[in-house]
Chain A
């Protein structure tokens, strides 16, 4: 059976080309051209210790940090080992209750105006590192108060961690919550060490 022999040999040949040569070639070139991106866009503090990836969000619930979007990853929110969304349907009573509770928690911090929907609805990956400008803006009074910095100063820091639309027109403007919170923490450290 000539075609059976060809089948097996083709399978092996394509496995070598598409499963061996191709991924190794991409890895090799990527390491040369974009080493930081290829390795996960990891961030490190001044001592070189990894503090996270700028692409993956982390969970925050303390009032002195900006809060990210809700996350439905397995076990706990923002678990990179269990990416995924809530998969809750729009009429699911349990889901509607949970969203109601999230809104209540935000209102308890003094927010009275409209709340951007993404701040109470879980992302698709559960690792979404971003919130909208508006979602950051309504959190400024809380964070400013707990950290004892002025709203204007905090507002400027938020702007520093806001990216505009890519190339000026693609996607949405967004604030990277982890990067912003890392900055807040480093400011505090500098202040407390300066006081000593």
Chain B
């Protein structure tokens, strides 16, 4: 890295760390029902929402009712979005007269946005109306994020409370999460993004002349829209001159802000955050990375405060930072080394295929690790075109279970499940009853923790396996050889872990991927979430065991290192064989030639 890249990266992490503490404390206040500096403005709105929706704010729920409310709410969200996608052509704010989605694509998209995945098998500028974007997709960016945060907060209450079977009120956690945390930050961030050039309007698409006309071979179509082919089966084309292009418009900034803040990641345009209208300047770029990491990072401090020992939170943050910075370094090294197969051509500089110039190499790489370490999945580089080991980094960050900061809420609760496992394994080694935060870890908690951390991995491996023996899925690969396997593995890793980024060469809009992918997203989201709520319930009922001489201190560096090791071992045991057949073999063949 050159001088400027080092300064940028160092300043970025400094800014992030400075923000985490006040943000974490603010969120702890919000979820504990305290007054905040926004209360004078928001409390009336909050109370009005409770009155409209029939919510009794002081009424607390046991874990079964909390989980039931969460699932019901998500079901209603899913049905609402599905209907909107299927009826897009009848709804307003559709100046381009875009048609409705096919049911398979609508199913996949509705599941994708409700589960906070934002996997996109469509391309925004040519398929989605302003109504669907702003009134449909953007709303789900808020509520799916708030759902994840609510589940994490419920688990924290389970650890913090003693002999109580109540873990909070889902409706109150939802409402406060959206009103006090997501909306105000999005509002400010969206305006800063507009100042940088992110567009925000409801205008029709604009047409503009090209300074120099361009030509291309356009396939000839028959009356039914199928390509006409010659005797040899090659499509017949005609040379077309283009003098004018259409520039898409839309309410982008408002969606961009919550897309990053809620670790959703669904781009307004096909190119996502690489598109100059979504991310025009280096400053907008760094702001987006900051938004991605802000809530997942700050929740570690919220956790520490709510369990009464902020060092417990900092230990988890340390693990996340260690893994994030480690991944960044490997990715940077791989991309700087470039592509040896192009070495004879006299090129200068890093691998720039699928990258934008304005962000710089280190900035682009920082975004890539942030977006895949969290479950965001927005992209500023096309991950498919990264070098093999470079591309393995985002893949591995997802396969670890989205815990390197992780999704809003889901990152923290999955990390806590790993911590429970780490405490249990170390308990076995030293022959003590494992305890975490004064709660005994017993068979039930271990079961629930295993479900939380293993569901996604099992789904990834089985679904990728099925795909590899299905001709339609094999045909959807864009690149030959080991890289094709990486594309499939990446797709299911992304969907099962609710990330949403892609090795985008893959032809994702086929029935096979749409339907199997929907299943992967649903299992990867709701099995762990319900397991976590069950764990919250069972932990809450336990009595507090004061620490003794034999208790493993979980707020110190040795535990953080141990936890890192457990995470890496679980990840390696599950995925090393698959990774060897994809990126690792591609790396070896690339450099061995």
B69 at the A interface (CB under 8 A): yes
User: In the complex, A11 Cα to B174 Cα: how many Å?
Assistant: 11
Tell me whether A87 and B354 are in contact (CB under 8 A).
Answer: yes
Nearest A residue to B246 by beta-carbon distance?
A81
Interface of A is mostly: mixed
Tell me whether A55 and B277 are in contact (CB under 8 A).
Answer: yes
User: In the complex, A55 Cα to B481 Cα: how many Å?
Assistant: 37
Give the number of residue pairs across the A-B interface with Cβ within 8 Å.
373
- For A139, what are the chain B residues with a Cβ–Cβ distance below 8 Å? none
Query: Which of A10, A22, A58 has a CB less than 8 Å from the CB of B186?
Result: A22
User: In the complex, A59 Cα to B480 Cα: how many Å?
Assistant: 29
Tell me whether A81 and B126 are in contact (CB under 8 A).
Answer: yes
Tell me whether A90 and B382 are in contact (CB under 8 A).
Answer: no
Nearest A residue to B215 by beta-carbon distance?
A76
User: In the complex, A88 Cα to B255 Cα: how many Å?
Assistant: 29
Nearest B residue to A79 by beta-carbon distance?
B245
* Binary B-proximity of A3-36 (CB < 8 A = 1, otherwise 0): 1111111110111011110110111011101100
- For B353, what are the chain A residues with a Cβ–Cβ distance below 8 Å? 85-86, 88, 90, 95, 121-122
- For A113, what are the chain B residues with a Cβ–Cβ distance below 8 Å? 346
Nearest CB of A to B46, in Å: 11
Nearest B residue to A70 by beta-carbon distance?
B353
Query: Which of A17, A56, A118 has a CB less than 8 Å from the CB of B352?
Result: A118
- For B589, what are the chain A residues with a Cβ–Cβ distance below 8 Å? 91
Residues 377-403 of B at the A interface (beta carbon under 8 Å): 379-382, 384-388
Tell me whether A19 and B138 are in contact (CB under 8 A).
Answer: yes
- For A90, what are the chain B residues with a Cβ–Cβ distance below 8 Å? 339, 341, 351, 353, 385-388, 483, 586, 590
- For A23, what are the chain B residues with a Cβ–Cβ distance below 8 Å? 134, 138, 251, 254-255
User: In the complex, A91 Cα to B352 Cα: how many Å?
Assistant: 14
Tell me whether B199 and A124 are in contact (CB under 8 A).
Answer: no
A192 at the B interface (CB under 8 A): no
Tell me whether B271 and A83 are in contact (CB under 8 A).
Answer: yes
Tell me whether A87 and B385 are in contact (CB under 8 A).
Answer: yes
Chain A: number of interface residues, binned into ranges: 35 or more
Tell me whether B171 and A6 are in contact (CB under 8 A).
Answer: yes
Tell me whether B194 and A37 are in contact (CB under 8 A).
Answer: yes
Tell me whether A82 and B270 are in contact (CB under 8 A).
Answer: yes
- For A15, what are the chain B residues with a Cβ–Cβ distance below 8 Å? 80, 135, 139
Tell me whether A165 and B282 are in contact (CB under 8 A).
Answer: yes
Among B49, B206, B354, residue most surrounded by chain A Cβ atoms (within 10 Å): B354
A147 at the B interface (CB under 8 A): no
Among B357, B479, B480, residue most surrounded by chain A Cβ atoms (within 10 Å): B357
- For A30, what are the chain B residues with a Cβ–Cβ distance below 8 Å? 190-191, 194, 200, 253
Tell me whether B254 and A26 are in contact (CB under 8 A).
Answer: yes
Q: Which of B52-60, B315-323, B538-546 lies on the face that meets chain A?
A: B52-60
B444 at the A interface (CB under 8 A): no
A62 at the B interface (CB under 8 A): yes
Tell me whether B282 and A58 are in contact (CB under 8 A).
Answer: no
Residues 137-196 of A at the B interface (beta carbon under 8 Å): 165-167, 169-172, 174, 178, 181-182, 185
Nearest A residue to B130 by beta-carbon distance?
A23
Residues 56-83 of A at the B interface (beta carbon under 8 Å): 56, 58-62, 65, 69, 75-83
30 sampled A-B residue pairs with Cβ under 8 A: A3-B65, A3-B73, A5-B54, A7-B73, A19-B136, A23-B254, A26-B253, A37-B199, A38-B200, A39-B249, A41-B280, A49-B209, A59-B210, A81-B245, A82-B270, A87-B384, A87-B503, A89-B385, A89-B586, A90-B385, A90-B590, A116-B348, A117-B348, A117-B349, A118-B349, A118-B352, A118-B355, A171-B282, A171-B358, A181-B211
Apart from the given pairs A13-B49, A88-B505, A103-B346, 12 other A-B contacts in the complex at a CB distance below 8 Å: A2-B54, A6-B54, A7-B75, A11-B77, A38-B199, A51-B209, A79-B245, A80-B248, A90-B586, A118-B352, A124-B381, A172-B358
Binding site for B on A (CB under 8 A): 2-11, 13-15, 17-20, 22-23, 25-27, 29-31, 33-34, 37-42, 49-53, 55-56, 58-62, 65, 69, 75-93, 95-96, 99-100, 103, 113-118, 120-132, 134, 165-167, 169-172, 174, 178, 181-182, 185
